[in-house]
Amino acid sequence: YSYSVTNPDLELLHYTTHLFSSDAPKNTSLSFFPSGSMMEGRPVTLTCSTDAKPAVLNFTWYKETGSQLELLQTGFNHTYVVSNPTHSTRYRCTAQNQHGQHNATIELDAQFAPKISSSCNKSSVITCVCEAHGNPSPKLEWRRSGNVLTNSTNTFIRNETLGSTSSKSILTIHQPLTDTDVLQCFSANTLGTASASQRFHPVTRTSGTETQGGIPNLQEPDKTTHLDSYCLK
């Protein structure tokens, strides 16, 4: 029994093509290092992995903002360094060879200590608003000269949750404050604390005594302190 091959090179090419089929990239995925919890301001390296035959010609990196894509980098580099990761930011890697392309996305969830802002105003009552932004979501509390405030006859506190990383608290006070009182909004999560203070001081009003004929008296004006009127520092 004998077998002859008329064109060995053609037979080998057919066998090789069958064994190593060409495909567009698939099974594309993204990972980051260091793994685990990431912190805002600490760089992380994204790595794009994929299966492709033949090999990937280029990796293109994007930052997703809503429906918009911001081009960050393109080339043969399958890694990308995010110098300052932030909360809820999505990145995309597109792996491409001559047969097609495949995408993978990842959302970074950087953690950070609370950032806080507060303001107060006075009409018939004193109302203060405090907002804190942090990840994990921060807790808020009010303090008056170091003492924690709770709901009472003269004090009302309403807390709200603003998304997954923000909190808001509204304080209403139905009583006068002295010039030594300090209202403080205090915020905390597992990464740190933050506070903002409002100090109140009485407004000094001046009044002059007029003589007959409506001509002001040149005597030193009488200074009267009204403790029901406040300025904010």
| pLDDT computed for residue 9 by the predictor | 52
Number of Cβ atoms within 10 Å of the Cβ of 28 = 20
Counting residues of the chain whose pLDDT is more than 90, the rounded percentage is 59
Q: What Å distances lie between residue 223 and 99, 118, 195, 200, 216, CA to CA? A: 87, 32, 35, 19, 16
* pLDDT of 48 over the 60 cut: yes
| pLDDT computed for residue 202 by the predictor | 53
| pLDDT computed for residue 171 by the predictor | 95
Residue 228: closest CA among 121, 119, 120, 124 = 124
What average pLDDT score do residues 146-150 get?
93
Find the largest Cα–Cα distance for the chain: 143
d(CA 232, CA 119): 9
What average pLDDT score do residues 214-231 get?
33
pLDDT tens sequence across 177-192? 887 888 999 999 999 9
With bands split at pLDDT 50, 70 and 90, how would you rate the model's confidence at 6? Answer: low
* pLDDT of 232 over the 50 cut: no
d(CA 150, CA 166): 21
| pLDDT computed for residue 129 by the predictor | 95
Q: And the tokens for 105?
A: 């996305």
What average pLDDT score do residues 125-153 get?
93
Q: What is the mean pLDDT of the chain?
A: 81
What average pLDDT score do residues 123-152 get?
92
* pLDDT of 139 over the 80 cut: yes
| pLDDT computed for residue 7 by the predictor | 54
